[in-house]
């Protein structure tokens, strides 16, 4: 029998004897599947903190307690990098607009009237008719519990302050014909399903300028393994690599 006194004398060594590795604290970040004691000063940097809060306000009523700061930080970094290049921005998969609202705030998007930020989504959840059999078996359609309701009017209101934001409602790939951009400097793909995501990637690839970043939001998350494998094949076909991040995202840089 183990007593409280015995419990107090237990010593934990890293790594554990069975091969598991735990992160000894104190943790500076412990959310969204990522726990680390590494530096997180980016989260408190005033410009980013203000931008993230602007993005978070679009979704906090639906997802209270949500913390995806590190993923938003990656998107803001990639978008700012895109300002050094020629071309428009495009986000395939928007929901309430957390990432895109954070980016427009972070970059002061009103200063760039010559650029357009394209936002494409059903704004009503995943188009389940486009799911593969493997995705259906995995239960990806159940994710629509998180995306219930039509958020399109809210998104329109959120971005009404930016005349250079274009919102396209409907499922990809059917809506791609409405996108008229010629060059893309920043691309984000987050539609939770293989068919629309690969269609979006194929559509935008030749339009991406050299140096443009494509952010794959679901790349490293195990429920979306079909997407990862599809993008791995996409990358092989293009002769490029994908950087897998501990945030769960993947990054592709057009060469």
Q: What is the pLDDT of residue 219?
A: 98
Domains and CATH numbers, the chain: 44-253 (3.40.50.150)
Q: What is the pLDDT of residue 43?
A: 96
Q: What is the pLDDT of residue 163?
A: 97
Angle at the Cα of 93 from the Cα atoms of 252 and 170, rounded to 5 degrees? 135
Are the C-beta atoms of residues 179 and 90 closer than 8 Å to each other? Answer: yes
Give per-10-residue mean pLDDT for the chain (255 aa).
Answer: 46 62 79 93 97 98 96 98 98 98 98 98 97 96 91 98 98 98 98 98 98 98 96 98 98 97
Q: What is the pLDDT of residue 4?
A: 45
SS3 letters across 139-172: CHHHHHHCCCCCCHHHHHHHCCCCCCEEEEECCC
Q: What is the pLDDT of residue 1?
A: 46
Residue with the two structure tokens 């357009």: 116
């Amino acid at each position: 029998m183990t007593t409280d006194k015995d419990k107090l004398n237990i010593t934990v060594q890293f790594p554990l004897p069975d091969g598991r590795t735990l992160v000894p604290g104190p943790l500076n970040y412990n959310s969204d599947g990522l726990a680390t004691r590494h530096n997180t000063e980016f989260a408190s940097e005033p410009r980013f903190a203000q931008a993230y809060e602007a993005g978070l306000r679009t979704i906090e009523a639906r997802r209270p307690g949500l913390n995806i700061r590190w993923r938003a930080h990656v998107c803001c970094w990639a978008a700012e990098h895109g300002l050094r290049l020629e071309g428009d921005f495009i986000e395939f998969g928007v929901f309430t607009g957390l990432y895109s609202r954070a980016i427009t705030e972070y970059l002061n998007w009103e200063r760039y009237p010559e650029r357009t930020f394209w936002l494409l989504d059903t704004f009503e959840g995943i188009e389940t008719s486009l799911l593969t059999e493997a995705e259906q078996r995995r239960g990806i359609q159940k994710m629509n519990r998180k995306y219930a309701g039509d958020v399109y009017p809210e998104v329109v209101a959120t971005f009404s302050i930016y005349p250079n934001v274009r919102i396209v409602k409907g499922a990809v790939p059917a809506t791609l014909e409405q996108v008229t951009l010629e060059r893309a400097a920043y691309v984000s793909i987050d539609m939770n399903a293989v068919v629309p995501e690969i269609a979006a990637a194929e559509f935008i690839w030749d339009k991406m300028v050299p140096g443009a970043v494509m952010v794959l939001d679901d790349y490293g998350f195990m429920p979306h393994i079909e997407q990862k494998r599809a993008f791995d094949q996409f990358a092989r076909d293009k002769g490029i690599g994908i950087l897998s991040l501990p945030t769960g995202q993947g990054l592709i840089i057009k060469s």
